[in-house]
Amino acid sequence: MKVTAPSLAPILRSDAQGRILARLLLDPEASHSFSDLVTWSETSMPTVTREVRRAEQAGLVTSKKIGPVRNVKARVDHPLYDAVRRIILATYGPPIVVAEEFARITGARATMLFGSWAARYLGEPGREPNDIDVLVIGDVDRDEVEEAAERAERRIGKPVTATVRTCSQWGSENETFVQQVKSRPLLFVLGDSEEWSGAAFGEAETGLGDSR
């Protein structure tokens, strides 16, 4: 079967490879099971097995079997580790980084990536995006959101623009911006995507009102 060329980093074999490497290289102290990598990369076990084997042959990762489970982790002593990590961070790293930096925001019900970067990550062809758009849903402190965006930007190396909408605004059909966001690819990094992909969530359903 022909593998679709990656949308974010043409130097890689596939988007699945980019996601797998992102999981491994961006948290080099952690080890991950093959099952974890299957879930994260949204691909199959044969694909994960193949890509991990290639990365291990190249010396970028190492694997060790503990009981019935084989765990994989990055090799930080590889001479190209820093260079490869920077490429992966700028292309496939934002979901991990944004999830980590925005997880501590009080009152946030969901956080998602939208716009061109999310579209490329999800396979829509086009030019490499220059920035990353983040949308936070909930009754939150906007300064706290901006601080999270600044931290994520420093780690990723690309501008991160954060937008806030309350739960009632997200459910409103009169919000032009919200309707535009919903019409394009969305990548949820925090929150239940099935729940928040729905069209209507008002104050009565969420228990949160408009803070403005």
pLDDT at 157: 78
pLDDT tier for residue 5 given thresholds of 50, 70 and 90: low
Stretch 25-52: mean pLDDT, rounded?
89
Global pTM exceeds 0.85:
no
Nearest to 8 by CA among 115, 109, 129, 98: 129
pLDDT at 29: 84
User: Do β-strands 32-33 and 69-74 pair in parallel, antiparallel, or remain unpaired?
Assistant: antiparallel
